[in-house]
Structure 1
Amino acid sequence: MTQAPFELPGQRDAEDIMSEPDTHPVATTRKRLSFLAFVEHTRVSSNASLGLQEGLELFEYAEDLGYDTGYVRHRHLETYLSSPFTFLAAVSQRAKRIRIGTSVTPLRFEQPIRLAEDAATLDLLSEGRLELGLSSGYAATESTFSQAFGEIEGDDIRALVDARLSSFLAALEGRTVATAESDLSFAKAGAELTVQPHSPGLRDRVAYGAGGGTSAQKAGARGLRLQLSTLNTEIGELGFENTQAQSIRTYRDEHAKVRSSPASPSFASVSRAIAPFDSATERAELEWLLERDAERAASVGEGPLPFQFGRVAHGSGEQIAEALIDDAGIHAADELVIALPFDYPAETQRRILRQFAEDAAPHLPYLR
Structure 2
Amino acid sequence: MSIRTLHFLTPGNFADDDPYAGLEATLQLFEYGERLGFDGAWIRQRHLEHGVGSAAVFLAAAGQRTSRVQLGTAVIPIGYESPFRLAEDLSLADVLSQGRLQVGFSAGTPPHADLIGDLVFDGDWRSFDLSYHRIARLRDNLRGEFIGGPDTVIQSPGNVQRPRLQPYSKGLVDRLWYGGGSLRSVRWAASAGLNFLAGNIVSGEGTDDFVAAQLAHIREYRAAVGRPARIAVGRVVVPLDSADPATRRRYLAYAESRRERTLKPHGERRTLFAPDVIGTSAEIVDRLRADAAVQEVDELRLELPYEFNRSEYEQILHDVVHSVAPALGWQRS
Alignment of 1:151-190 (within 5 A): 153=124, 155=126, 159-178=129-148, 184-186=154-156
Give the direction of change, closer, same or farther, for the CA distance of 1:367–1:240 in structure 2 (3 Å limit): farther
CA contact (8 A) 2:47 2:111 kept: no
Q: Distance in 1 between matches of 2:315 and 2:45?
A: 23
Please report how far the alpha carbon of residue 183 of structure 1 lies from its aligned counterpart in structure 2 after TM superposition.
Answer: 7.2
Q: Aligned partners of 1:182 and 1:215: how far apart in 2?
A: 37
How far, CA to CA, are the matches of 2:208 and 2:266 in structure 1?
A: 18
Q: Please identify, of 99-108 and 246-255, the stretch whose mean Cα deviation from structure 2 is larger.
A: 246-255
What's 2:5 paired with? 32
**Per-residue CA distance 1:280-336 (angstroms, 9 max, x = gap):** 4232121343123321123x2234652111111111110111110121211222310
Is 2:263 aligned against 1:267? no
Q: Distance in 2 between matches of 1:303 and 1:247?
A: 20
Indicate how the Cα distance of structure 1 residues 71 and 367 shifts in structure 2: closer, same or farther if over 3 A, else same: same
In structure 1, C-alpha distance between the alignment counterparts of 2:64 and 2:92, rounded to whole Å: 13
Aligned residues: CA RMSD = 2.7
Q: 1:117 aligns with which of 82, 88, 92?
A: 88
Q: What corresponds to 2:258 in structure 1?
A: 293
Which residue of 1 is the match for residue 177 of structure 2?
A: 207
Which structure 1 residue ranges, 4+ long, deviate > 6 Å from structure 2?
179-183
- 1:337 maps to which residue? 301
Q: Which residue of 2 aligns with 1:3?
A: none
Q: Give the partner amino acid of 2:275.
A: R
1:63 corresponds, among 10, 24, 34, to 34
CA shift, 1:146, in A, is: 1.4
What amino acid sits opposite 2:256 in the alignment? E
Map Cα deviations across residues 28-49 of structure 1 (whole Å, 9 max, x no partner). 6x4211100000243655xx71
Closer, same or farther in 2 for the Cα pair 1:170/1:274, shift >3 Å? same
Q: How far apart are residue 100 of structure 1 and its match?
A: 0.3
| 2:55 corresponding residue in structure 1 | 84
The amino acid of 1:338's aligned partner reads L
**Residue of structure 1 equivalent to 2:75:** 104
| Counterpart among 301, 306, 322 of residue 358 in structure 1 | 322
State the alpha-carbon separation in 2 of the partners of residues 249 and 67 from structure 1: 26
* Contact 2:78/2:110, CA 8 A, preserved across alignment: no
How many residues of Structure 1 are paired with residues of Structure 2 in the alignment?
328
Q: Any stretches of 5+ residues in structure 2 without a counterpart?
A: none
After superposition, the C-alpha distances for 1:166-216 in whole angstroms (9 at most, x for unaligned) are 2211111122445699974349xxx86211111111111001111112211
Q: 1:139 to 1:119 in 2, by over 3 A?
A: closer
Tell me if structure 1 keeps the 8 A contact 2:211–2:293: yes
Q: Which moved more, 1:336-345 or 1:243-252?
A: 243-252
Distance 1:131 1:182 in 2: 32
Q: Partner amino acid for 2:324?
A: A
Same amino acid, percent of matched pairs: 30
2:65 to 75, 83, 94: 94
CA–CA separation in structure 1 for the residues paired with 2:258 and 2:233: 18
Q: Does structure 2 retain, via aligned residues, the 8 Å contact 1:275–1:315? A: yes
1:180/1:193 contact within 8 Å kept = no
Is the CA contact (8 Å cut-off) linking 2:118 and 2:125 kept in structure 1?
Answer: no
Whether the 8 Å CA contact 2:117–2:125 is kept in 1: the answer is: no
Q: Secondary structure of the equivalent of 2:47? A: coil
* Cα deviation digits, residues 225-277 of structure 1 (max 9, x gap): 01111111235327222322221121122221xxx3xxxx2111110012221
Rounded to whole Å, the distance in 1 between the matches of 2:194 and 2:153 is 37
Find the residue that maps to 1:193 and give its secondary structure. coil
Q: Check 1:228–1:344 CA distance in 2 against 1; reply closer, same or farther (3 A cut).
A: same
Show CA shifts across 1:127-170 (max 9, x none).
1110011112555643223133237757367x433332122111
